Amino acid sequence: MIRSGCTIVSFNYLAYARTLCDSFLDANPGCRFYVLLVDRLPAYFDRSRERFELITVEELAIPDFHSVAFKYDILELNTNVKPTFLTALLDRGIEAVVYLDPDIFVFQNLSPVFDALEKHAVVLTPHALSPFPDPASEVTLLSAGVFNLGFVAVRNSPEARHFLSWWEVRCLNLGFDEPRTALFVDQKWTNLVPCFFESVALLKHRGCNVAYWNLHERELSQQEGKWVVNGSDPLMFFHFSGVSVDGDARISKYTDEYTLENRPDLRQLFEDYRSALIEHGIRDTCEGKYAFGSFDNGQFINRLTRALYATNLEKFSGEDPFRSSSNFYRWAKARRILSTSESAKLYSSKSYSKSDPRVRFIHGALRFALRVLGADRYTMLLKYLSYVSILSHQGDVLDK
């Protein structure tokens, strides 16, 4: 059986891809490794110096690719071309393909995965295998999805191709990072996979896809120089999602629950991984300019602009939206939805503060609205604001 691993990155994550590739090939001799670049290569880049085979996203020949690349931001585009990429690898005659997110490190031969592929067309890993101490953590998984799509494996079979074809349509059309409409890029769709497809393995190996979201059930230690989980299961691969290379105590930018201070069992693991990233050039590649992040005149493309383009695809079909001479650019400029930066992503429930003057002003305005409208109409107003605050629902507001 011809086996391979693969990942997807933009140029700023190239060091992660190199680190993952080395760990995968060292642990799985005889396999191949492929990297899909969702970006454009700088002139100085030399493919021949890499251990992996590089494929650019435009080589996938996705229909109307410039439209897909415009409506999705960097996270959305990197994740939503996954089924197309996997299909392209199967078309090359590869019999078993393991996709891994670039911020993963492989510690052992992935024989449990390849063994599962001998009997099944698709292999997935659940985020967690046991209940969380805090039910709120399970609410998060209800939003993010049952399965973590930092990992998926497929066998070259009719059932796997059926799955990939189904998944591709949904990813290329509705793969938005929009939790309030039940969408989360490529990941949420796989909640349905065990229901819609027959040959699906749910790999419940505690050494697979270890990450901050399942640390409540997994302790790490070393035995005879090898990492093990809960004193018995070999650590197959660790997912360093949201890792900082700067060496602080955080294990992920997405959680404050676990740190290297309250989980000292992870300290050596993280020190080694951060060193590997530096060795593979993260200081040189992390600041690369994203090829699909601006119009051809250098104007930054924000999420509101992308969302409004996505909701008006028919109106602007047949043209390249990245061109500053396009009808869409003129439409966006006339509605003043262009900006030079995007700071909204810096704000969340964690950064919310009642003492913020802007928050106090909005609260005052809402209290005034309650007095004027009364409880019933005020509740109606909040329902509408909840609806229209979703960027893709801004079309009616900005339509002149």
Pick from 242, 257, 284: which residue ends a domain?
Answer: 284
- 212 and 66, same structural domain? yes
Give the pLDDT confidence score for residue 284 in this predicted structure.
Answer: 81
- 348 and 278, same structural domain? no
Residue 50's domain spans which residues?
Answer: 3-284
- Could you give the C-alpha distances from 355 to 32, 345, 359, 368, 388, in angstroms and in order? 55, 20, 7, 18, 26
The reply to whether 87 falls in a domain is: yes
Give the pLDDT confidence score for residue 400 in this predicted structure.
Answer: 60
Counted domains in the chain: 2
Pick from 228, 250, 284: which residue ends a domain?
Answer: 284
Task: Give the integer Cα–Cα distance in Å for 22 and 35.
Answer: 12
Give the pLDDT confidence score for residue 111 in this predicted structure.
Answer: 95
pTM: 0.92
CB distance 163 to 121 below 8 Å: yes
Rg over CA atoms, the chain = 23
Give the pLDDT confidence score for residue 286 in this predicted structure.
Answer: 67
The reply to whether 291 falls in a domain is: no
The reply to whether 289 falls in a domain is: no
- 383 and 243, same structural domain? no
- 188 and 138, same structural domain? yes
333 phi/psi in degrees, rounded to 5 = -65, -40
Residue found under tokens 């409506």:
71
Averages of pLDDT over runs of 10 residues in the chain (400 residues) are 94 95 96 96 87 95 96 96 98 97 97 96 97 89 94 97 98 93 94 96 97 96 94 96 89 92 95 95 80 95 94 90 95 91 76 83 93 94 90 78
